[in-house]
Amino acid sequence: MTLLSVTGVSRRFGDVTALDDVSLDIVQGEFFALLGPSGCGKTTLLRVLAGFERPDTGTVTLDGADLLALPAHRRPVNLMFQSYALFPHMTVEKNIAYGLHREGLPKDEIRARVAGVLATIGLPGAAKRRPNQLSGGQRQRVALARAIVKRPRLLLLDEPLSALDKKVRAEMQLELKRLQHEVGITFVVVTHDQEEAMSLADRIAVFSEGRVEQVDAPVSLYRRPRTRFVADFVGANNLFDGVLRDGGVEVPGVGSGPLPCEPPGDLPAGSPVVLSVRPENVRFDDEGPLAGTVMDTSFFGGVSRVAVEVGGLTRPVELTVPGTAPADPGKPVRLSWNPDRAILIGPA
């Protein structure tokens, strides 16, 4: 069931268009990510949902009711800030209870809710501590507890893990997902971190220059990008600009014949296209259509990333191989891939 519906929302700041006719539907209980580079409009949309910005055009409904008609403090929406914004002079329990006191709830109910949410985030013994006595991950949990204790219909998270180091961030990604399922609140998270979005979200909306490029589940987004921007932004990729021919994609300047791909169902021969091949789908092949020279190899524990310079291409072709690289820099190699692992994006 659709909980939040954003239809035709635009927001301009002078000559800058932050949001350009954005439409999205978010389902009840979903973990939804807004992903894109800095300045793409994702945080502006979050501020519109929270009530801190007013769109120039468009509508936003929550459960069918006009969300834009409500002031920020009356919306059944809570926002967890990137900086956590905890009160340093208050204890953990008072930080969490602050919003409930402002609502005038009975003290017994406040105590019960705070105790319950502290147990949920795994910090039942931290009630009397102050924020400066907590680790970064613990402060993040307290900020999340303060956001969910009011039981909003929709929780907005603005780059919630950006202040954490890599190891703690990975742990908190799992924690966020667990908490979201446990409390049953719809989460909308803003991030520029692809791995974070892919690991957390049920669906992702990829933004570019104020517009939504694609909305999809993480696996579909990775395997079937619909635009060049999505193919280039989400994960590592090899992109070949060319023209569709009967035998594959002909790339100007690469005189090795058409590059392999599955026959398209809706694109005629002669169409300009982008051929997308993920590094893990490229392999060394003595009979392969691409000839090049190994430029560099990088070892990442279980796998190695190899960069191959191919004449006629402005960017090296990347491939991922298990273990250590079988070829040293300077060695001539040939490359290929299975046609069904190459994605056609058209027109270019």
Q: Which two tokens stand for residue 32?
A: 């939804």
One of 3.40.50.1820, 3.50.50.60, 3.30.1950.10, 3.40.50.300 is the CATH number of 2-223, namely 3.40.50.300
Q: Which two tokens stand for residue 133?
A: 């006595």
What are φ and ψ of residue 138, in 5° steps? -70, -40
Which pLDDT belongs to residue 250?
A: 93
Asked if residue 49 lies in contact with residue 188, where contact means CB atoms within 8 angstroms, the answer is yes
Residue 71 has pLDDT above 60, yes or no: yes
What stretches of 55-214 show up as alpha helix (H) in DSSP?
92-102, 107-120, 136-148, 166-183, 194-200
Averaged pLDDT for residues 136-149: 82
Residue 51 — very low, low, confident or very high, per pLDDT cuts 50/70/90? very high
pLDDT per residue over 151-174, tens digit each?
888 989 888 777 666 776 777 777
Averaged pLDDT for residues 186-210: 92
Across all residues in the chain, what is the average pLDDT? 90
Which pLDDT belongs to residue 141?
A: 82
More confident residue, 99 or 279: 279
Residue 247 has pLDDT above 60, yes or no: yes
Averaged pLDDT for residues 191-196: 88
* Pairwise CA distance, residues 158 & 119, whole Å: 24
Residue 337 has pLDDT above 60, yes or no: yes
Q: What is the SS3 assignment for 176?
A: helix
From 5-14, 102-111, 292-301, the region with the lowest mean pLDDT: 102-111
Q: String of b and e for 332-344 (b: at least 16 CB within 10 Å)?
A: ebbbbbeeebbbb
Most confident among 15-29, 67-81, 116-130, 169-183 (mean pLDDT)? 15-29
More confident residue, 9 or 171: 9
Asked if residue 37 lies in contact with residue 210, where contact means CB atoms within 8 angstroms, the answer is no
**For residue 293, what are the β-bridge partners?**
309, 332
* Pairwise CA distance, residues 260 & 343, whole Å: 10
Which pLDDT belongs to residue 255?
A: 74
Averaged pLDDT for residues 20-24: 97
Chain centre distance of CA 69: 29
User: Can you tell me which residue has the tokens 């979903």?
Assistant: 30
Letter for the amino acid at 165? Answer: D
One of 2.40.10.10, 3.30.310.50, 2.40.50.140, 3.40.50.2300 is the CATH number of 236-345, namely 2.40.50.140
The ranges assigned to domains in the chain are: 2-223, 236-345
